[in-house]
Amino acid sequence: VLVIDDDAAMRALAKRWLESKKIHCLEAKNGEEGVTLAAERHEDIDAIVCDVMMPVMDGFATIAELKKNPDTAMIPVIVLTAHANTEGDVVKGVEVGALDHLAKPFSGPVFLAKVNAACTRSRAERGLRKKLILAEETARIDALTGLLNRRSFDQRLREEIAFTKRHKTPFALLLLDVDRFKSVNDTFGHEEGDRVLQHVAAAMRAAIREEDACFRYGGEEFAVILRATDLAGGVRAGDRLLGVLVGRPTLLGPEREVRTITVSGGVALGTDERFDDIVTRADAAMYRAKEAGRARIVGED
Ligand code: GH3
Ligand code: MG
Ligand code: MG
């Protein structure tokens, strides 16, 4: 719990009550110090107790600052009001986002009960936020390869089409399919097959620029959406990936057999006039790459 109060005796009193319940107490002697400390230690702070009357930056301004920073905005604040002007201060405190209030001089058990309630709420919210972040991530990311998943691909493709319509700059779609992947599964088993998919994903990360999003499109098929890129640029990106794959063969099975994994790829162009059938066109180009002998990237006609 962070206690912000310019009165040293007040801080000492609060600290004694908190520590009697084994709650660690951080202290700040004015609003600025409190805001800085809260930002630095936000992961450790479950609640903030903040005095109203302080020189330079009063309690309300302090709370307003805490609410501006997304890292500290969610930490519940209890305002410490002076007895004489409690009502007005409580109203202002609630208006700037305080959770609760306490009038000075306060009773220890009431203080602790309020602090405990704030801490419980804080920890529950922290747990929920963590779960939410994890849930958002599993919704976007393919668990095996760590690349963006099919759902993200559909979303990003819609965004890219909107961007292309607005800015009249084309984008390229590179669709990739692992060559003779069934034979990896059949010869070495599915687990080694999975490792090959991770190997391809790592090569994609190495070969493709950060702003060009890489996806696992499904099974052993991958995709790259290349913003503001023409057909030749899309083919170049695919060739770069092939270069990386050829440059780093992988070892498979108990005998650690050396295998070079390759992909075949097709590139299609999305323009502000033609975008609807881009996946079909890239797929057709990829099919031609397979027909022509695999391990190559073909642009659409
Ligand atoms: P081609 O060069 O023509 O693409 O030949 P291929 O063997 O790669 O093509 P095919 O489509 O016949 O085989 C794809 C195989 O990929 C079939 C399927 O069992 C396998 N596969 C799809 N998803 C996964 C996966 O997540 N893990 C593993 N291990 N195998 C997968
Ligand atoms: Mg396939
Ligand atoms: Mg394949």
| Tens-place pLDDT, residues 13-43 | 999 999 999 999 999 999 999 999 999 999 9
Residue 62 confidence (pLDDT): 97
Amino acid at 297: I
Q: What is the mean pLDDT of residues 290-300?
A: 98
Amino acid at 158: R
pLDDT in tens, 174-184: 999 999 999 99
Residue-averaged pLDDT of the chain: 95
Q: What is the mean pLDDT of residues 165-192?
A: 96
| Cβ–Cβ < 8 Å for 51, 7 | yes
Q: How far is the CA of 217 from the centre of ligand 1 (A)?
A: 13
Residue 82 confidence (pLDDT): 84
Task: For residues 200 and 194, give the distance between their C-alpha atoms in angstroms, rounded to a whole number.
Answer: 10
pLDDT in tens, 208-227: 988 889 999 999 999 999 99
Q: How far is the CA of 121 from the centre of ligand 3 (A)?
A: 51
| Pick from 38, 294, 7: nearest CA to 176 | 294
| Residues taking part in catalysis | 220
Question: Which ligand 1 atom lies nearest to the CA of residue 185?
Answer: 29
Residue 221 confidence (pLDDT): 98
Residue 92 confidence (pLDDT): 93
Q: How far is the CA of 178 from the centre of ligand 3 (A)?
A: 4
Q: Who has greater pLDDT, 114 or 272?
A: 114
Q: Which residue from 142, 179, 220, 290 has its CB within 8 A of the most atoms of ligand 1, so it is best to mutate? A: 220
Q: Name the residue with the closest Cα to ligand 1, atom 2.
A: 179
Q: Name the residue with the closest Cα to ligand 1, atom 27.
A: 194
Q: What percent of the chain has pLDDT over 70?
A: 100
Q: What is the mean pLDDT of residues 157-170?
A: 95
Residue 276 confidence (pLDDT): 87
pLDDT in tens, 54-92: 998 999 999 999 999 999 999 999 999 987 678 999 999
Which protein residues have their CB within 5 A of the ion that is ligand 2? 177
| Cβ–Cβ < 8 Å for 208, 273 | no
Question: Which ligand 1 atom lies nearest to the CA of residue 181?
Answer: 8
Strand partners, 252: 257
Task: For residues 269 and 172, give the distance between their C-alpha atoms in angstroms, rounded to a whole number.
Answer: 5
Joined tokens for residue 216:
């696992």
Give me the DSSP letters along 207-238: HS-TTSEEEEEETTEEEEEETT--HHHHHHHH
Q: What is the mean pLDDT of residues 270-298?
A: 96
Residue 75 exposed, middle or buried by CB count within 10 Å (0-12, 13-18, 19+): buried
Residue 127 confidence (pLDDT): 93
Q: What is the DSSP letter of 262?
A: -
Q: What is the mean pLDDT of residues 247-274?
A: 95
Question: Could you tell me the pLDDT band of residue 254, with boundaries at 50, 70 and 90?
Answer: very high
| Pick from 272, 241, 296: nearest CA to 171 | 272
Residue 48 confidence (pLDDT): 98
Ligand 1 residue neighbourhood (C-beta within 6 Å): 177-182, 185, 190, 193-194, 197, 219-220, 290, 294
Q: Name the residue with the closest Cα to ligand 1, atom 25.
A: 219
**Nearby residues of 179 by Cβ (< 8 Å), 6 or more positions away:** 261, 262, 263, 264, 290, 294, 295
Which protein residues have their CB within 5 A of the ion that is ligand 3? 177-178, 181
Q: How far is the CA of 220 from the centre of ligand 3 (A)?
A: 6
CA dihedral 77, 82, 85, 88 (to 10 degrees): -10
